[in-house]
Amino acid sequence: MAVEKFPVEGSHIMMFARSIADDNQIYYDAEHAAATELGKVIAPPTFAQSSAQFDPDYFLRPKIGEDWFGSGKEATGIKRESSGGGGGGGGLHAEQHFEYHRHISPGDVLTGTDKPGKTWEKEGKRSGKLVFTESIIEYRDQHGELVITARSVGVRTERPVDQ
């Protein structure tokens, strides 16, 4: 996931905070935030993940005029065989790690550069062969300063995970 321009906006932070059921006013109210140690609204710790909104090619967002693998009349809009079970189009998220060099606020404009990491395999009891893939995204601000380092590990399973 490479993101050329991720503008951090107050209304997006508000919606994100609601989506994780966090009513901490540091994410909603600039007046409240002004009276805190930080002095301004910041984003919740996992907010950088929503850079997906600003990735033009992000594959887990339907694109105008293109087939989508979710359901319409049929269970999936893609005619080909599913490429292995366990997550529809994207596999599953196995790990996520963040390092915060500074906390981001409305007005920041970030870029995210993606560096591929390691790939490894493992035999899983509940889902057959597992293929893990790591990726590292470095988020920099409008001054080129590194603000967040994000490392994610995704996993593709041979079949859906047994329940």
Partner 1 sequence: MALSAQDLNTGDTYTECLVEDLTRTQIVMYAGASGDYNPIHTDEKFTKEAAGYPSVFAHGMLTMGMTGRMITNYVGDGRLTKYGVRFTSQVWPGDTLNATATVEEVADGLVNLKVETTNQDGVTVLSGYAQARVD
List the Cα angle 33/37/42 in 5-degree steps. Answer: 45
What count of residues does the chain have? 163
Distance, CA of 1 to CA of 9 (rounded, Å): 20
Residues 6+ apart with CB under 8 A from 106: 8, 9, 10, 13, 40, 41
Q: Residue 76 or 133: which CB sits closer to partner 1?
A: 76
- Residue 109 binds partner 1, judged by CB under 8 A: no
- Residue 24 binds partner 1, judged by CB under 8 A: yes
- Residue 82 binds partner 1, judged by CB under 8 A: yes
> Which member of 2, 34, 35, 38 binds partner 1 (CB under 8 A)?
38
- Residue 10 binds partner 1, judged by CB under 8 A: no
- Residue 119 binds partner 1, judged by CB under 8 A: no
How many other C-beta atoms are found inside a 10 Å radius of the C-beta of residue 125? 7
Distance, CA of 85 to CA of 128 (rounded, Å): 10
> Which member of 2, 35, 58, 115 binds partner 1 (CB under 8 A)?
58
Residue numbers at the binding site for partner 1 (CB under 8 A): 12, 15-16, 18-22, 24, 26, 36-38, 42, 44-46, 49-53, 55, 58, 60-62, 68-71, 75-76, 82, 85-90, 92-100, 103, 151, 159-161, 163
